[in-house]
Chain A
Amino acid sequence: MKLPPGTHFMQGNEACVEAALWAGLIFYAGYPITPSTEIAEGLAMRMPEEGGAFLQMEDEIASISAIIGASWAGVKAMTATSGPGFSLMQESIGYAAMTETPIVIVDVMRGGPSTGMPTSVGQGDVMQAKYGSHGDYPVIALAPSSVQDMFDLTIRAFNLSEKYRVPTILLSDAEVGHMRGKFLVPRHIEIVDRRVRTDKVWHDGFAYDESLVPRMPIFGKGFRVHVTGLSHDIAGYPTNDTEVNEELVRRLQDKVDRHSQDICSVVAHRPGSKHMLVAYGSPSLAAWEAMMENEDFGLVDLKTLWPFPHKLLAEALSGCLDVVMVELNLGQVFREVQRVACDIGCGKPRLFSKVGGDVPKPSEISSFVRGGV
């Protein structure tokens, strides 16, 4: 039985489990890795109860490969991991983007690099989420910062993935994954399913309309479609034709970029304040506290990281004098913020970064903004 509408109190990872089931998850394949293991363990218990399949695979690469297969068999599929596993999955994420396979990957970020700090927080995977695989390919990445977000954004991740046929990454972190909190399951939850091909496929399995998203010719319906990671024409056959590849690569990216208005979201508190903080994930909670203690602070809480919400951020930052980015890495989203700040001419943004494995205190943020380092 799905989690009934109303208030609940759970761990972030547990909320993610329940949200995935609400979204219609049928197939989960994963490999345990701290701090995401609760998602796998929760689904191991819940999937058979809800009529789905759970499989613990031999490694992360097998996990992501299996969910790609399951998605083509016509069901919603998800996996969960952390930094090192996310690195292993990159080739297949590129494959999912190239073949337009809807899948959801939860990355509960931890201290890095390398084995790093498995039980401490970090935000070092943001650039990897967009540029981890080779070549140019589209990806959607969302950043939850509370247990409520873990619930809402997991469902949103499925919806976006299905709507745009793009691998969608939920960039959570160790604090958000493990924190316990209250959240609300609304009465009405919007679930989006992929548009499946209905007519006969005749050498046009990958044909698309003005939305740039082809209807998906899932397996087992007699479409007889060939899916490949090689550059392909609309029949799905591999090709070396430069014009075809040019069109394919650009369409895949445009598919997401052109719909950024639908995909991107931020929550702006007191936009246009003198000092604007920009944050996502667990540091945004500390930034929010800092904002509440200082009347001339505002906060932009980024809920979408890729495609980067340039327009929304620019609107929220317009008129401000001082932009301070708070993140738990050496400046990954900061580069995008610098770009936006430069475009709107609001002065040089500053970066408050911590990579030691914990979230900043609100007082540390305040004193950094006020002039101390």
Chain B
Amino acid sequence: MEFFDLFREDRWPHMFCPGCGIGTVMNCFHRAFSDLGMDQDRTVFVSGIGCASRVIGYIRADSIHTTHGRALAVATGIKLANPDLNVIVFSGDGDIGAIGGNHFINAARRNVDISVFCINNYIYGMTGGQASTTTPYKSFSSTTPYGSKEYPFDLAEVAVASGANYVARWTIRNVKELTTSMMKAMQKKGFSFVEIASPCPTSFGRRNRMADPTQMFEWLKIVSVRKDKSQAWGLDQLDLNIEGRITIGEFIERNRSPYGMIA
């Protein structure tokens, strides 16, 4: 399946900024979807509000762009009403980790059979660069002009703690591993969560001395550390931004049965 068999070519060039990682995620997603031979007429995409949530409007399939933070609740309804459908959620760090936090932990707890791709750009990009629940400690944003005074979430860690069946995190530099993880997530029964660390040069980069896309791209390389290596360096296995690093890898694979469906 070619890229534009899965995506709506009439809407290209797309709205994402130069250097935005969302475009790369779309490439990896296309590879994963295509290599798995999935049926785009039996797949429904769900999203909330934000830049990451706009991805689904570009996909040639049934899609529903819902209210801010509620994507996982809507996805739960769709999957349970028609279990034959594959339900895939594309959302962002704010949509999942802030306003949607409650739905995130509960959907993971229920182990609903959906795949969630959370594109984490560490900021609220769509609305102009306000702090997110994943904005690193002491980073700058439009609502933290003196540096963030809050510790951020590690969304992958929250997913593991809530009971998800498969959790992984990669940056957009790891295109091969990301594609493989997306394939695993979509094949796996139960709640699969893949967090993708993505650059936002326009909102995050510009305020944190990384305005050029290539600068944030380099930053992701420096700041990410593979899960097994992070243990060797004495960091907590899943500890994130407090130490200024992003741990990448596959964090857990469980085999709990997914939430039961219609009788």
* Partner-B contacts on A (CB < 8 A): 26-27, 29, 48, 51-53, 55, 57-59, 61-63, 65-75, 77, 91-92, 95, 99, 219-230, 237-238
A73 adjacent to B73 (CB under 8 Å): no
Q: Which 8 A-B residue pairs are closest in the complex by CB-CB distance?
A: A69-B77, A66-B77, A65-B73, A70-B81, A69-B74, A73-B81, A228-B65, A69-B78
Q: Known: A65-B74, A69-B46. Contact between A219 and B82, CB under 8 A?
A: yes
Name the residue in B60, B64, B106 with the highest tally of chain A Cβ atoms < 10 Å from its Cβ: B64
Report Cα–Cα, A57/B80, bound state, in Å.
13
Contacts of A225 in B (CB 8 A): 62-63
CB distance from A315 to the nearest CB of B (A): 40
The answer to the question of B161 belonging to the interface, with a C-beta cut-off of 8 Å to chain A, is no
B63 adjacent to A220 (CB under 8 Å): no
A220 adjacent to B82 (CB under 8 Å): yes
A27 adjacent to B263 (CB under 8 Å): no
- Which of the 9-residue segments B23-31, B37-45, B186-194, B239-247 touches chain A? B37-45
- With CB as the reference atom, state the residue of chain A lying closest to B57: A226
Residues of B224-244 contacting chain A, CB below 8 A: none
Report Cα–Cα, A74/B66, bound state, in Å.
17
A59 adjacent to B67 (CB under 8 Å): no
The answer to the question of B220 belonging to the interface, with a C-beta cut-off of 8 Å to chain A, is no
The answer to the question of B158 belonging to the interface, with a C-beta cut-off of 8 Å to chain A, is no
- With CB as the reference atom, state the residue of chain B lying closest to A52: B262
Contact of B85 among A62, A220, A224 (CB under 8 A): A220
Q: Known: A66-B74, A66-B76, A69-B46. Contact between A226 and B63, CB under 8 A?
A: yes
Contacts of A72 in B (CB 8 A): 44, 64, 78
B62 adjacent to A62 (CB under 8 Å): no
Q: Known: A69-B73, A222-B41, A226-B57. Contact between A26 and B262, CB under 8 A?
A: yes
- With CB as the reference atom, state the residue of chain B lying closest to A201: B62
Contacts of A91 in B (CB 8 A): 67
CB distance from B42 to the nearest CB of A (A): 6
Q: Known: A26-B81, A228-B65, A229-B67. Contact between A237 and B75, CB under 8 A?
A: no
Main secondary structure of the interface of A (DSSP, over half): mixed
- Report how many residues on chain B are interfacial, defined by Cβ distance under 8 Å: 35
Contacts of A74 in B (CB 8 A): 81-82
Main secondary structure of the interface of B (DSSP, over half): mixed
Report Cα–Cα, A149/B44, bound state, in Å.
38
A27 adjacent to B67 (CB under 8 Å): no
The answer to the question of B103 belonging to the interface, with a C-beta cut-off of 8 Å to chain A, is yes
The answer to the question of B56 belonging to the interface, with a C-beta cut-off of 8 Å to chain A, is yes
B60 adjacent to A62 (CB under 8 Å): no
- With CB as the reference atom, state the residue of chain B lying closest to A51: B263
Contacts of B42 in A (CB 8 A): 220
Name the residue in B78, B81, B84 with the highest tally of chain A Cβ atoms < 10 Å from its Cβ: B81
Report Cα–Cα, A92/B67, bound state, in Å.
7
Q: Known: A226-B65, A228-B57. Contact between A220 and B44, CB under 8 A?
A: yes
Contact of A92 among B62, B64, B70, B80 (CB under 8 A): B70
New A-B pairs, 14, CB < 8 Å, besides A65-B103, A69-B81, A77-B77: A26-B262, A52-B262, A59-B102, A62-B76, A62-B103, A67-B77, A73-B77, A95-B66, A95-B67, A219-B62, A220-B84, A226-B64, A229-B67, A237-B11
Q: List 27 A-B contacts (CB under 8 A).
A: A27-B77, A27-B80, A53-B80, A53-B81, A57-B73, A58-B103, A61-B70, A62-B76, A66-B80, A69-B64, A69-B75, A69-B81, A72-B64, A74-B81, A74-B82, A91-B67, A95-B66, A99-B64, A219-B64, A220-B41, A220-B85, A224-B40, A224-B60, A225-B62, A225-B63, A226-B57, A238-B65
The answer to the question of B61 belonging to the interface, with a C-beta cut-off of 8 Å to chain A, is yes
CB distance from B162 to the nearest CB of A (A): 12
The answer to the question of B261 belonging to the interface, with a C-beta cut-off of 8 Å to chain A, is yes
A70 adjacent to B66 (CB under 8 Å): no
B61 adjacent to A68 (CB under 8 Å): no
Contacts of A224 in B (CB 8 A): 40-41, 60-62
A73 adjacent to B63 (CB under 8 Å): no
CB distance from A44 to the nearest CB of B (A): 13
- With CB as the reference atom, state the residue of chain A lying closest to B44: A219
Q: Known: A68-B66, A226-B63, A237-B57. Contact between A73 and B78, CB under 8 A?
A: yes
Name the residue in A26, A48, A226 with the highest tally of chain B Cβ atoms < 10 Å from its Cβ: A226
Contacts of B56 in A (CB 8 A): 226
Contacts of A29 in B (CB 8 A): 76-77
Report Cα–Cα, A237/B74, bound state, in Å.
19
Name the residue in B42, B60, B82, B103 with the highest tally of chain A Cβ atoms < 10 Å from its Cβ: B82
Contacts of B263 in A (CB 8 A): 48, 51-53
CB distance from B14 to the nearest CB of A (A): 12
CB distance from A99 to the nearest CB of B (A): 8
Residues of B176-209 contacting chain A, CB below 8 A: none
Contact of A65 among B41, B66, B84, B262 (CB under 8 A): B66
Report Cα–Cα, A75/B81, bound state, in Å.
7
Contacts of B61 in A (CB 8 A): 224
- With CB as the reference atom, state the residue of chain B lying closest to A220: B85
CB distance from A78 to the nearest CB of B (A): 12
A70 adjacent to B77 (CB under 8 Å): yes
